Amino acid sequence: MQALLQNNLVFLLIILWTLPWKGVALWKSARLGERWWFVALLVINTIGILEILYIFIFSKRAEREKTPEISS
């Protein structure tokens, strides 16, 4: 932790990496009405890992479950 405080560039790069992922993940979870995911993504900081997993895996499952299938 002390190394991060001493090196502002590393800290800035972590923020610039995390912020867009967190924003997209929060937007998707709010749009899908997934309150628990929204809270978890807002509170837990995993330097983008949880956010990336949510965007590419968990939100896809939720979208499939909420989208009704079109039957012919």
Is pTM beyond 0.85? Reply is no
- 71, part of any domain: no
Give the residue numbers spanning the domain of 30: 2-66
pLDDT single digits (tens) 9-56: 888 888 999 999 999 999 999 999 999 999 999 999 888 999 999 999
- 22, part of any domain: yes
Q: What are phi and psi of 45, to 5 degrees?
A: -110, 110
- 15, part of any domain: yes
Q: How far apart are CA 8 and CA 3, in angstroms?
A: 9
Per the structure, how many domains does the chain have?
Answer: 1
- Closest C-alpha among 44, 42, 45, 43 to residue 25: 42
Identify the pLDDT of residue 10: 82
- 37, part of any domain: yes
Q: How far apart are CA 22 and CA 33, in angstroms?
A: 16
